[in-house]
Structure formats: structure tokens, C-alpha cells
Structure 1
Amino acid sequence: MSLSKNLIFFILSLPCIVSATQAQYGCMTHYTPWIGQGACGFDAAGLQYPIEPPKEESQRYIVAVNHEQYMGSELCGACVEITGPTGATVTARMTDKCPGCSRGDLDVSPDTFAQIADPNVGKVQISWQIVPCPATSLNDMRYLVTEGSTVDWLEIRVEKPILPVVGLSVRTVDSFKALQRNAANGWVGVGLNIDGELMDVKVDFVDGSSVIQTGISISASSQGNLVAPKSAGTRQGGSGYVPDSVMRVTSTDPKARNCSASAGDGWSPPVTQQQNVGFILRGRFLPFLLSIGALSVVLVDAQ
């Protein structure tokens, strides 16, 4: 191979080398008071917050994602790890959308904001990524059925999913029938013919896994109560992790946003010690080694 061809190959390979990082960038704000439910339609427990904050972290640490990346409620229930300006991190659950936020931005509860930044600042730069929800199991999942639901017409929401939900089916007299998701995170079915008052639900997660949970009362749920299944079931298949296609839902350009007057165009949020290992290997050291290797090939070939 000629010297010129080697140089062209080396230059063209650079974008592939440096694109390994999955950091997501945006601005974070906080809103008060938090009223609990949000666009995702989850249970409005903790309605009195911030007068009497909810004790469960899953209710205190919540996020509203920008309208564009709300994606018609597809990110509802997902857990997001947010890294603040100092490198501190917090994991919160997506429960709402922020119509006034730009792509990549998050609007969070005051408790979430305070974990990684000074609430008095009001707006800071962040990086974030979707992660499997910590300390959440199939036994934690609950269901909320819309008032007026019957064995023939049903709207249901999944509370505290372990991963974002991409599909939901309900067992009918004949077989499982897929429900359709609406913009309010409700799964709706018409003409179902469910066999009895207790229903079985099949939940499909974003990583390709699924679970069948049984014994969910239609009438008890439709009265506004969160209902636990009689059997939590066993998760089948899947990788256990959120695919890259879902991880990269926001802009990866750290120069795209300027969250404050003092923020420079080249600002990049610091990484935690654990993240730093991967960052060095993928973002700096590995590209360096590959570059040296490619340059060596060029020099050897030139000789």
C-alpha cells in the first residue's frame, strides 16, 4: 500500500476512534413545587411536597426530560444518572417532560438538584445517561389502571419499572394482546375480552427482556390504587443493559450549550473516579495507541 493511501486510511479512521464516549450534555434546572404525577401519569404520591417530602428516593429524585427527547412518553420510568459540575452524581427517575427545555436539558426536583449542585445557582451544566434503575426489582413493580377500565377496554401504567418499557400485552380469553402506548404513558387496549377480574400482563423492556406478572386486579387499580401483582414472575432474555441506541438519546457535543454567562464554550463536565478509568481508556489512551499503531504502519510502508 502506498504512503498516500496509508495516510488517507489513517485520517478517515480518526472519527471512528474518538467517537467511543457516550457522554450526554445539557443544562439542568429545578422546579418547585413538585406535584408528583407529571406527564408520565405516575402515581401522585407526595402531593404535599415540598411541605412534607416523600421518604422514598424513587419519589424524591425525579426528572422532567426536554420535550423533544420525551419521545411520546418512551422514556417514562427510565432511570438517568446525572453528573454535575463538580463530578458528583445522582440517579433519578424520569416522570415528566419539560416543554420549555432544549434538547439535552433536564428539569429536576429540588432534592435531585441539591445532590449535585447548589440550588441557589438555579442552572448548571451536566452530563447524563440512561442506566438500569438501582435497587429496583420485579417485586417493586406496580400497576395503575385508569378509572373506567373494564375487561374490554383498558388503560394501564407500569410504575417503578426496572428498565424503560417498550411493550405491554394483556392476556385475553384467546391469547396475549398487545396494547398501544399513548403520549401520556398509558397502554391502551380496546375489545380485549379479558378472562375475569384478575389480569395477567406481559411487560417488554428496552433491553429485549420480558416478564409476565399475574393476578392484577382491574377494579382495585381503577379506583386509583397502586396494585402489586400476585406473582412478580421471572424475567426472561435480554442483556440487562440499556442498548446504545437508547443511551445516545441526546446531543454529545459539549460545546452545544452555554448554561450560564460564566460557562466557556469548551466546557465539559468532570467525570467521577469510576467513570474516569473508562474515559481514559476509551477517550484518550485507546485513541492514542491506535493512532501510534496506524502511524507505525504508515512509516513501515513508506520504507
Structure 2
Amino acid sequence: MLVLRSGAAPACAAPVRPVAAPPAAGVTKQGKATFYDSAGAGGNCSNPAAPADRLYVALGPQEYADGAACGGYLDVTGPKGKVRVMVMDQCPECGPGHLDLSREAFARIADPVRGIVEVSYRLVVDPPLVGPLTFRIKEGASQWWFAVLVAGHGNPLRSVEVRQGGSGGWRAAVRESYNYWLIDSGAGPGPYQIRVTDSRGHRVTATGIRIAPGQVQRSAVRMYGAASGGSATSSAAPSPAAPRSPSARPKPATGPTLSPSNSVPEPTEVAALAAEDGAASASAAPVAAPPSCG
């Protein structure tokens, strides 16, 4: 018997896009690896240069997650063994689970002549021997437009907050896809306190960070473990990177062009390390789409 029901026919649900997020802590994933050469450049994460050991990786857009994975570390296991690499770059053409390793990292886990191999990989939690934190104010920054690159944190970062001097409220910076943290309306003339929280809930505060565009201000602050005392120092702006090879990643756009300051950083202090919830990053696994209405 035919049964008629009133009302409109149900519409097919649109497919749900996978959630963009860095690899989740505590989860071993399966994938594949290829390799490329950044030609010494620091990749889409805007590092001044590639790591000295040249062990780095570029992730596809889903796991790069608009820069949220930058500065984290993966343990990658292949046919020949395991290598630890820093997330430094985005591989626009790579799908979920596709790691584009540096040539040196690939050679640790497989014969480069193979070109592509199956691997497993896992996010490293609280990687040792990382830090202290460094801060690089972007070229063009001023009291009216603030942008800072934070490095040496080990775990991916959750938030960066800034306040002028030692008083007033904290202002949240917004992470751009090229890994600088921006406050479009500026944060004042400085010096600043900068409070950094990572994906594991570790939180520290560095003080005395000045507007010194293009200079790396090195602190004595570590995100976790014993934090050593000492003073901040400043290094000169790095020399231009070597020309990128055809496989290198595109460079992000710069901010507004303003007159840089020649300020010298003041000593950096450690604030109390306050652990929060320690929650792991959200999983990057694709969300299953609803069944077809056909």
C-alpha cells in the first residue's frame, strides 16, 4: 500500500568538510612521505631560516591549519627508522597524512631514490631541548600596528597576549596563516609583556620586548621544564635567504611599511608557569559525510 506523507521531501545534507587542526597529541597516524628542499628559507611559518639540523616538514592545509601547527614537532617512522622534524612549512598540494619532509629528514627514514614511502607519525608532547622563547617583531611594526613571531616553544601555540609595560589589560593577538601574531590597532610604543600559552596548557610571560623590527629578541623563558634566568639579547636581522628552489613554498605578504625602530631589548623575566587543562589538540581526522540520498 502506498503511504503519502505531507511536507517537503528531505534535502540531501551537504558533505561536512574535515576539521583543520594540527596532528592530535597521543595519536599515531598512517600516511606517506615525500621530500623537498626549502633552499635554506624558513617556510610558510616565517622562520628566519630553516633549522640548523635541516630536519623539518611541510604539512598539507588540513594539518597545517592556518599556521596552528607551526613550531610543533613530529616523530616520523619509515622503512629505515625514525626521525624528529619541526613543522616549518605548508604543502598546498598535500592531502591529509601526506608529509613533505626535508631531503635530509627523508634520508633518515628511507632511501631518497624511492621518492615516496609509507610512514607513521605522531605529534611530540613537550619535546626536550627546545627553547628558550624568541620574539621577532615584524618589519613595518609600530605602536599602531603590532606583529610578532614567537619561536622556541616546542608544542604548538594556543594563544599570544600582549600588554604595554607592566600594567593595563591583556590584548589578544590573532594568528595569521604565516604564523605572525597580529594586533591590527597596535599595542602601544612598548616595551611589552607577552604572555604565551601552548596547546598543552603551559603558560609563561616574557617582559621587556621592544619594537625592534627584523631583530630576534632572545629570552631566558622556556614554556615548560626548568626556566633559566638571564637577560634578553638581540641579534641583527638575518641576511636575505638564498633563492628558493621551484619546489619551495610561497612567501606570505608583509604588513604595512612603516619606519622601523632601533630599540634594544631589555632583560626578560619569567612569570609563574601556570598549567591549565593540558587538553590535546583537536583531531584532524575527516568527519564522515552523511549517506547519499540517491
The bucket for the TM-score relative to the shorter chain is 0.5 to 0.7
In 1: Cα distance, 2:179 partner to 2:126 partner: 18
Letter in 1 for 2:194: V
In 2: Cα distance, 1:155 partner to 1:232 partner: 21
**1:44 corresponds to 2:49:** yes
**3-state SS, counterpart of residue 191 of structure 1:** coil
| Other-structure match for 1:168 | 160
Evaluate the alpha carbon distance shift between residue 168 and residue 38 of structure 1 in structure 2; reply closer, same or farther with a 3 A threshold: same
**3-state SS, counterpart of residue 38 of structure 1:** coil
Evaluate the alpha carbon distance shift between residue 115 and residue 235 of structure 1 in structure 2; reply closer, same or farther with a 3 A threshold: farther
Aligned-residue RMSD, C-alpha: 2.3
User: Out of 274, 278, 290, which is 1:236 matched to?
Assistant: 274
**Cα offsets for 1:127-149 (capped at 9, x unmatched):** 111113533345x2111111111
In 1: Cα distance, 2:56 partner to 2:125 partner: 15
Deviation, 1:203, is 0.4
Q: How does 1:128-143 map to 2 (within 5 A)?
A: 128-132=121-125, 134-138=127-131, 140-143=132-135
8 Å CA contact 1:208, 1:237 repeated in 2: yes
Q: How does 1:148-167 map to 2 (within 5 A)?
A: 148-167=140-159
In 2: Cα distance, 1:72 partner to 1:122 partner: 27
**1:81 corresponds to 2:78:** no
8 Å CA contact 1:104, 1:250 repeated in 2: no
**3-state SS, counterpart of residue 218 of structure 2:** coil
**1:202 corresponds to 2:191:** no
| Other-structure match for 1:22 | 27
**3-state SS, counterpart of residue 183 of structure 1:** coil
Evaluate the alpha carbon distance shift between residue 136 and residue 150 of structure 1 in structure 2; reply closer, same or farther with a 3 A threshold: farther
The 4+ residue runs of structure 1 with deviation greater than 6 A are: none
**Cα offsets for 1:212-262 (capped at 9, x unmatched):** 01112212xx1x2211133252432146x671x44x4357xxxxxxxxxxx
Deviation, 1:207, is 1.0
Evaluate the alpha carbon distance shift between residue 78 and residue 33 of structure 1 in structure 2; reply closer, same or farther with a 3 A threshold: closer
Deviation, 1:164, is 0.6
**Cα offsets for 1:66-113 (capped at 9, x unmatched):** 122211111111111111124x11111101010111111110111111
Deviation, 1:117, is 1.1
User: Larger deviation: 33-42 or 203-212?
Assistant: 33-42
**1:64 corresponds to 2:58:** yes
8 Å CA contact 2:62, 2:284 repeated in 1: no
8 Å CA contact 1:65, 1:106 repeated in 2: yes
Letter in 1 for 2:92: P
**1:177 corresponds to 2:171:** yes
In 2: Cα distance, 1:80 partner to 1:107 partner: 12
User: Out of 117, 126, 132, which is 2:119 matched to?
Assistant: 126
Evaluate the alpha carbon distance shift between residue 84 and residue 232 of structure 1 in structure 2; reply closer, same or farther with a 3 A threshold: farther
Letter in 2 for 1:84: G
Deviation, 1:32, is 2.6
| Other-structure match for 2:98 | 105
8 Å CA contact 2:77, 2:121 repeated in 1: yes
Q: What is the percentage of aligned positions where both structures have the same residue? A: 27
8 Å CA contact 1:77, 1:164 repeated in 2: yes
User: In the comparison of the two structures, how many residue pairs are matched?
Assistant: 212
8 Å CA contact 1:26, 1:126 repeated in 2: yes
Deviation, 1:22, is 2.8
**1:191 corresponds to 2:189:** no
Letter in 2 for 1:38: G
In 2: Cα distance, 1:232 partner to 1:97 partner: 33
8 Å CA contact 2:162, 2:187 repeated in 1: no
**Where in structure 2 are there 5+ consecutive unaligned residues?**
1-25, 220-266, 287-294
User: Larger deviation: 90-99 or 31-40?
Assistant: 31-40
| Other-structure match for 1:31 | 36
| Other-structure match for 1:226 | 216
Evaluate the alpha carbon distance shift between residue 25 and residue 232 of structure 1 in structure 2; reply closer, same or farther with a 3 A threshold: farther
Letter in 2 for 1:129: R
8 Å CA contact 1:199, 1:214 repeated in 2: yes
**3-state SS, counterpart of residue 101 of structure 1:** coil
8 Å CA contact 1:198, 1:216 repeated in 2: yes
Letter in 2 for 1:145: I
8 Å CA contact 1:77, 1:159 repeated in 2: yes
In 2: Cα distance, 1:83 partner to 1:164 partner: 21
The structure that is helix-richer by fraction is 1
**Where in structure 1 are there 5+ consecutive unaligned residues?**
1-20, 46-53, 252-303
Larger radius of gyration: 1
Deviation, 1:43, is 1.2
8 Å CA contact 1:34, 1:109 repeated in 2: no
